[in-house]
């Protein structure tokens, strides 16, 4: 697995280099390769082809001679290490889902089902499925462009000494808000047939739930009521722009013809659910 230096493209700043002479400070590439060796050994054994880890490890060392994984940038290695440990989402994912952060319960507490006075909460298990749905709506090229932009924003707020990202600073960065609104504008453009797209969103997110780490969430499913709550929060920044009368100035303004219709249908469905 090779990391690509995406931040050198399109005028974006380069990632933070590793301290001179140390290479990757966390040895993340080597850790991932060790994991892959163990995975291959188990997979081959299950197929009746026993190959020892020692043999695979020697092959891995030969691979490293022609693939200098130790030359990963400091930022790349830190991201890989933290994502591997489950401590952090990618910059693009974190910026994209920021509008719905308030729908997630505190860690260790199962999501509230919602009632007449409050919207249902979401399990964090929805994040992979939501990003899968967004990728389908954005398309591969636009997805990559936005992901690179998010990485550049994160690198601009990264402490050069610790490598940690100042997420509070990113929350106040206009570029992050613009990225979020761009995603929302494209999403809305796919909701011309609201009912069909809502059903699709439910199916994609629920079909790609992350494994439940808490037994209390094992039977949790993403339903229509969760999708409506998600859409309402997710598109809140775009609604604020539309309410200010500035929607025509948005990137991708050709899609803004759908904005008013989208919010009318979303609000009508929210009201209907409250009265049922």
pLDDT of residue 3: 34
Query: 113 and 231: one domain?
Result: yes
Q: For the chain, how many structural domains are there in total?
A: 2
pLDDT of residue 4: 32
Indicate left, alpha or beta for 121 from its phi (over 0: left) and psi (-120 to 50: alpha). beta
Contact (Cβ atoms closer than 8 angstroms) between residue 122 and residue 230: yes
pLDDT of residue 59: 74
Tell me which of 88, 111, 146 is where a domain ends. Answer: 88
- Residue 206 burial by Cβ neighbours in a 10 Å radius (0-12, 13-18, 19+): middle
State the virtual CA torsion across 18, 24, 26, 32 in degrees, nearest 10: 140
Lowest mean pLDDT among 34-48, 135-149, 243-257, 258-272: 243-257
**Which tens digit of pLDDT belongs to each residue from 132-180?**
999 999 999 999 999 999 999 999 998 888 778 898 999 999 999 999 9
Task: Please indicate, yes or no, if residue 3 is contained in any of the structural domains.
Answer: no
Residues of the domain holding 62: 8-88
Angle at 134 between CA 133 and CA 140, to 5 degrees: 105
User: What is d(CA 221, CA 185) in angstroms, rounded to the nearest whole number?
Assistant: 27
> Does the structure show a pLDDT above 50 at 48?
yes
In 3D space, the residue among 138, 156, 12, 190 whose CA is nearest the CA of residue 75 turns out to be 156
**Which tens digit of pLDDT belongs to each residue from 185-230?**
999 989 989 999 999 999 999 999 988 877 788 889 999 999 999 9
Task: Please indicate, yes or no, if residue 112 is contained in any of the structural domains.
Answer: yes
User: Of residues 66 and 187, which shows the higher confidence score?
Assistant: 187
Dig out the tokens for 113 from the structure: 């089902």
Query: 175 and 247: one domain?
Result: yes
Query: 95 and 76: one domain?
Result: no
**Residue 26: pLDDT band with limits 50, 70, 90:** very low
HSE toward the beta carbon, residue 180, CA cutoff 13 A = 26
pTM over 0.75: no
Task: Please indicate, yes or no, if residue 15 is contained in any of the structural domains.
Answer: yes
Query: 60 and 110: one domain?
Result: no
User: What is d(CA 185, CA 139) in angstroms, rounded to the nearest whole number?
Assistant: 14
Task: Please indicate, yes or no, if residue 125 is contained in any of the structural domains.
Answer: yes
Tell me which of 88, 117, 152 is where a domain ends. Answer: 88
What residues pair up with 59 in beta bridges, in sequence order?
none
128 Cβ contact list (under 8 Å, min separation 6): 208, 209, 210
Contact (Cβ atoms closer than 8 angstroms) between residue 75 and residue 16: yes
Task: Please indicate, yes or no, if residue 1 is contained in any of the structural domains.
Answer: no
pLDDT of residue 271: 87
Query: 155 and 45: one domain?
Result: no
Q: Tell me the angle at which helices 194-207 and 224-234 cross, rounded to the nearest 10 degrees.
A: 100
DSSP tag of 67: S
Dig out the tokens for 173 from the structure: 């960065």
Contact (Cβ atoms closer than 8 angstroms) between residue 103 and residue 230: yes
Contact (Cβ atoms closer than 8 angstroms) between residue 148 and residue 9: yes
Mean pLDDT along residues 8-24: 34
**Residue 38: pLDDT band with limits 50, 70, 90:** confident
User: Of residues 203 and 48, which shows the higher confidence score?
Assistant: 203
SS3 call for 115: strand
pLDDT of residue 201: 96
Tell me which of 88, 111, 144 is where a domain ends. Answer: 88
């Amino acid at each position: 697995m090779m990391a690509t230096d995406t931040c050198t493209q399109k005028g974006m700043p380069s990632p933070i280099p590793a301290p001179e002479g140390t290479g990757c400070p966390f040895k993340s590439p080597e850790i991932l390769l060790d994991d892959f060796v163990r995975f291959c050994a188990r997979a081959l054994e299950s197929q009746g082809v026993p190959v020892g880890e020692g043999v695979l490890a020697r092959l891995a060392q030969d691979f490293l001679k022609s693939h200098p994984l130790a030359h990963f940038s400091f930022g790349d290695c830190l991201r890989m290490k933290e994502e591997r440990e489950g401590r952090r989402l990618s910059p693009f994912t974190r910026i994209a889902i920021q509008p719905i952060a308030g729908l997630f319960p505190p860690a260790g507490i199962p999501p509230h089902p919602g009632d007449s006075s409050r919207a249902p909460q979401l399990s964090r298990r929805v994040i992979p499925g939501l990003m899968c749905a967004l990728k389908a709506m954005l398309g591969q090229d636009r997805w990559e462009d936005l992901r690179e932009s998010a990485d550049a924003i994160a690198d601009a707020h990264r402490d050069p000494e610790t490598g940690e990202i100042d997420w509070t600073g990113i929350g106040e960065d206009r570029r992050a808000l613009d990225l979020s609104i761009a995603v929302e504008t494209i999403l809305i453009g796919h909701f011309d047939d609201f009912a069909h797209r809502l059903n699709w969103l439910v199916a994609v997110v629920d079909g790609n739930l992350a494994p439940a780490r808490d037994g209390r969430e094992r039977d949790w499913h993403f339903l229509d009521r969760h999708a409506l709550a998600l859409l309402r929060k997710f598109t809140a920044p775009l609604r604020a722009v539309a309410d200010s009368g500035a929607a025509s100035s948005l990137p991708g303004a050709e899609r803004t013809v759908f904005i008013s219709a989208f919010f009318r249908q979303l609000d009508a469905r929210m009201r209907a659910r409250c009265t049922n």
